[in-house]
Structure 1
Amino acid sequence: MIAHSEWKQGEVFEGIAENGNTITFDTDSAHKHGPSPMEAVLMALCACTSVDVVSILQKKRQELTGLRVTATATQAPAPPRVFTLIKLTYAVRGHLSRKAVEDAVSLSKDKYCSISKMLEKAATVEYEIVYPDGEPQP
């Protein structure tokens, strides 16, 4: 895997992957052109674990109709402003078994999500599961 970044102007940078996919990073406080690099890390964490959870629940034949993963992070007060605590909230919808959801989230965090495993080396990663439509089946 290869990636690089190019400075575009001001505080705007473009990240380019080996296959040509791009993402624009904006380090200005307004972030008008894209996320900051640290925001992108949180977004990547949410996407990484979401992929795992959806895949696992589908393999368990669970009727998942929605998933939103939200990351709330605390950063160190002084540079380097690494994440020190990340809390993931999994809002799941569908006709689901509580155990299946808990197992999927746990497997993602502890085994499959590469980004989570990397971030755990610097930050505590916690999670909670919420059911906006009410409690799932036992």
Structure 2
Amino acid sequence: MIAHSEWKHGEVFEGITEKGNTITIDGDSAHTHGPSPLEAVLMALCACTSVDVVSILQKKRQSLTGLRVTAAATQAPAPPRVFTHISLTYAVRGKLNRKAVEDAVSLSKNKYCSVSKMLEKAATIDYQIVYPDGEPEP
């Protein structure tokens, strides 16, 4: 896997993967052109675990109709301002078995999500699961 960044102007950079996919990263405090580098890391964490959870639930033949993963992070007060704590909230929708959802999230966090496993070296990561459509099936 190879990626690089290219300075565009000011504090704006374009991240480019070897396959040509791009993301604009904005180091300015206003972040008007894109996420900050650390916001992009949180987005990557949410996407990584989402891929796992969707895949696992589909394999378990669960009727997932929606998933939103939100990450709220606390940073160290002084540079380097690494994440020290990350709280993930999984909002799942559909006709779902509670145990299947809990197992999918646990497997993602503890086994499959590479981004989570890397971030755990610096930050504690906890999570909660919410069911906006009401209670899932037992």
- The TM-score by the shorter chain falls in which range? over 0.9
Structure 2 unaligned regions, length at least 5: none
1:125 partner SS: strand
Match of 1:64 in 2: 64
Match of 2:100 in 1: 100
User: Is the aligned partner of 1:36 residue 2:30?
Assistant: no
Match of 2:123 in 1: 123
Match of 2:112 in 1: 112
Q: What is the deviation of 1:48?
A: 0.3
Task: Give the alignment's Cα RMSD to 1 decimal.
Answer: 0.5
Q: What is the deviation of 1:90?
A: 0.1
Counterpart residue identity of residue 75, structure 1: Q
Matched residue count: 138
Match of 1:49 in 2: 49
Q: What is the deviation of 1:3?
A: 0.8
Structure 1 residues 90-116: Cα deviation after superposition (integer angstroms, max 9, x where no partner): 000000000000000000000000000
Q: Which runs of 4+ in 1 moved over 4 A?
A: none
Match of 2:74 in 1: 74
Q: What is the deviation of 1:10?
A: 0.5
Q: Distance in 2 between matches of 1:72 and 1:40?
A: 13
Give the TM-score normalised by structure 2.
0.99
Give the TM-score normalised by structure 1.
0.99
2:64 partner SS: strand
Structure 1 residues 50-75: Cα deviation after superposition (integer angstroms, max 9, x where no partner): 00000000000000000000000000
Q: Distance in 1 between matches of 2:82 and 2:69?
A: 21
